[in-house]
Amino acid sequence: MVSRMFRIETEVDRQRRDLLRSRLRDTNTEASPVLRELRGTQLDREVPLQLWALDESGELAAGLDAHTWGRWLHVNLLWVDARHRGTGLGSQLLTAAERTAREERDCVNSRVWTWDFQAPDFDRKYGYEVVCAIPDYPAGITEYTLTKRIG
């Protein structure tokens, strides 16, 4: 038996993080025929998708930040200013993002995440189903991941 010594470091290191990400990607690609087929194709690119709603004075009233990858729309952020909530603005942004992802990027599924005090009921209203709930993330809050078929 060979005994090895390792030094564990806790410093933040972007170069090592990028190397780690690259090596994990290579390992995952080698292990998965699905990922091997996806790599190097148009579907393997993360393409940003952002929508902005500006009020009459040009101020940000609402916004949606997302990206598409692997025929999925990934909604990262959706926010509507309190003055404009209940006007349908959030619905317009979400449906526009889904339409763009479906019609221009060939996406067939969408995913969102939210906390229990934010918008799980909003997402359910638009056909999203909870696939994951993480209680106490952070303590006292439940995080939800929801998905929907859009194509």
User: pLDDT tens digit string along 57-105?
Assistant: 999 999 999 999 999 999 999 999 999 999 999 999 999 999 999 999 9
Domain that residue 33 falls in: 11-40
Asked if 94 and 62 touch (Cβ cutoff 8 Å), the reply is: no
Q: Is residue 128 part of a domain?
A: yes
The DSSP-derived string for 76-143 is EEEEE-GGGTTTTHHHHHHHHHHHHHHHHH---EEEEEEETTSSHHHHHHTT-EEEEEESSSSTT--E
What pTM value is reported for the model?
A: 0.88
Q: Is residue 70 part of a domain?
A: yes
- CATH code, domain carrying 129: 3.40.630.30
On average, the pLDDT of the chain sits at 96
Distances (CA, A) of 63 to 36, 73, 76, 109, 142: 34, 16, 11, 20, 23
Q: Is residue 17 part of a domain?
A: yes
| φ, ψ of residue 74 in degrees (nearest 5) | -110, 105
Q: Residue 4 — very low, low, confident or very high, per pLDDT cuts 50/70/90? A: confident
Q: Which residue has the tokens 């060979």?
A: 2
140 in the same domain as 74: yes
92 in the same domain as 29: no
Q: What is the number of structural domains in the chain?
A: 2
pLDDT at residue 119 in the model = 87
pLDDT at residue 68 in the model = 98
31 in the same domain as 77: no
Radius of gyration of the chain (CA): 19
